[in-house]
Amino acid sequence: MSYKDKIIKEKLPKHIAIIMDGNGRWARKHGQDRIFGHHQGVDAVRDIAEASAELGIKYLTLYAFSTENWNRPKFEVDALMNLFVETITKELDTLNKNNISLNAIGDLDSLPEENYLRLKETIDATASNDRMTLTLAMSYSSHWEIINAVRKILSAKNDQQLKAEDITEDLFSKYLTTAYMPDPELLIRTSGEMRISNFLLWQIAYAELYFTPKLWPEFTPEDLYHAIVNYQSRERRFGLTSEQIKS
Ligand code: FPP
């Protein structure tokens, strides 16, 4: 029996975020170079995006490239950037056919121009799709995002006397790059590492964390269903007691 049959439709997370990790180790395990691992990773992205949309997940956010990843060897950074452009271009029809809109968060100005333009074209071309929003975190880190939000608040309010009490959780959230979606209820990380690696630090305040030893290219829709079933078995208390939740 598939874990899919155990998923309670009424308790689906609206937003799942994934730290896709382990492409390099998967490649080594198969006697290939790291770039081959990233190519295999794209297949997993496709399968997981389709499975998520089919289940009724409204937002899927994938950590594709962190601000720290710029420090990898140049050939790997270049290969990843090419892979992103290639994939985004190739998948446009499938995104439209599946009614999925593409979005991106991160320091997008730091992307090579070709990447930025292709990304923007695909985002615009899929903007009216409303089954699911697939967000790629590209040149993203939470530290960058939080500093960026503070700067944006200061410049937006430059002409007003900004008072300390004007800074609220609600206002701050509106200046994050994720302002258009609810916070993720479930964060998955593959490859056995138990770190958050500067991803959505503000937004995962109450997310359930799910770590799996599977390397990203090995992560299948069945693994996703398992993660969701596991999430649904947990009691989410948001700081309350178990008794309060039950009543
Ligand atoms: C982490 O594995 C993965 C990345 C830094 C890149 C993720 C990119 C993909 C899965 C391709 C996705 C493409 C699109 C269009 C979203 P790693 O290289 O850190 O693996 P390792 O820890 O085993 O070395």
Taking only the tens place, the pLDDT of each residue in 94-119 is: 999 999 999 999 999 999 999 999 99
Pocket test for ligand 1, best of 18, 19, 20, 26 (most atoms within 8 A of CB): 20
More confident residue, 229 or 244: 229
Q: How many CB atoms lie within 10 A of CB 163?
A: 8
Extract the tokens encoding 80: 């990843």
The distance from CA 130 to its chain's CA centroid, rounded to whole angstroms, is: 17
Q: Is the distance from CB of 142 to CB of 199 less than 8 angstroms?
A: yes
Q: How far is CA 13 from CA 74, 130, 192, in A?
A: 37, 17, 22
CATH code, domain with 100: 3.40.1180.10
For residue 88, pLDDT over 70 is answered with yes
- Answer yes or no: is 166 within a domain: no
How large is the average pLDDT for residues 20-37? 98
Residue 23 CA to ligand 1 center (angstroms) comes to: 5
Structure pTM? 0.96
- Answer yes or no: is 164 within a domain: no
Is any atom of ligand 1 closer than 6 Å to the C-beta of 24?
yes
CA dihedral over 194, 45, 184, 198, signed as positive or negative: positive
Q: What's the number of domains the chain is made of?
A: 1
Residue 21 CA to ligand 1 center (angstroms) comes to: 6
- Answer yes or no: is 151 within a domain: no
3-class DSSP state of 222: helix
Extract the tokens encoding 200: 């959505």
Is any atom of ligand 1 closer than 6 Å to the C-beta of 140?
no
Catalytic residue among 5, 23, 69, 166: 69
Helices marked H in 19-69: 23-29, 34-55
Residue 164 CA to ligand 1 center (angstroms) comes to: 40
Structural domain containing residue 87: 14-140+184-234
- Answer yes or no: is 155 within a domain: no
* Active site (annotated) includes residue 69: yes
The secondary structure of residue 32, as a DSSP letter, is -
- Answer yes or no: is 149 within a domain: no
Pick from 130, 234, 232, 223: which is nearest to 181 by CA? 130
- Answer yes or no: is 147 within a domain: no
Give the tens place of pLDDT for each residue, 126-151.
999 999 999 999 999 999 999 999 99
The distance from CA 151 to its chain's CA centroid, rounded to whole angstroms, is: 23
Distance CA 99, CA 92 (A): 10
| Res 82: pLDDT | 96
